[in-house]
Amino acid sequence: MPEKTDVWQGTLALMVLRTLESMGSMHGYGLARRIEQISGDRLQLNYGTLYPALLKLEQEGFVRSRWGTSENNRKAKFYELTRAGQARVRKAAAEWEKTTEILARFLAPAEEA
């Protein structure tokens, strides 16, 4: 089993927004599990990191929350994208694609660069 790593600085918001975009409304625990699952269980998501990120995204107007009942019949806060969040996920994804393209040039063998 591969060793789990922490989420990289600056990527959590994009992962949250992208997951909500593809999955729809989710509660925090389900969101954390889905992000870890998508990573192939290579990321370890700390709740002390996730919930402040969700709060920040909500304060910025990219997500909204509502109280509801989870699958196991417990009270849970569900998060969903706002219209501004939909625009932000597209912009952030494009920025990360550009960044990883640039970084790939530095990681490529010298003859490929």
The whole-number pLDDT of residue 1 equals 55
Q: What φ, ψ does residue 80 adopt, rounded to 5°?
A: -145, 155
Q: Which domains does the chain have, with CATH numbers?
A: 5-107 (1.10.10.10)
The residues with which 6 forms a beta bridge, in sequence order, are 44
Dump pLDDT digits (tens) for 73-111. 999 999 999 999 999 999 999 998 998 999 999 998 876
Q: What φ, ψ does residue 43 adopt, rounded to 5°?
A: -105, 145
Structure-block tokens of residue 103: 């970084």
- Cα separation, 87 vs 67, in Å, equals 24
End-to-end CA distance of the chain, in Å? 33
Task: Please report the sign of the dihedral spanned by the C-alpha atoms of residue 69, residue 72, residue 75, residue 80.
Answer: negative
The reported pTM is 0.83
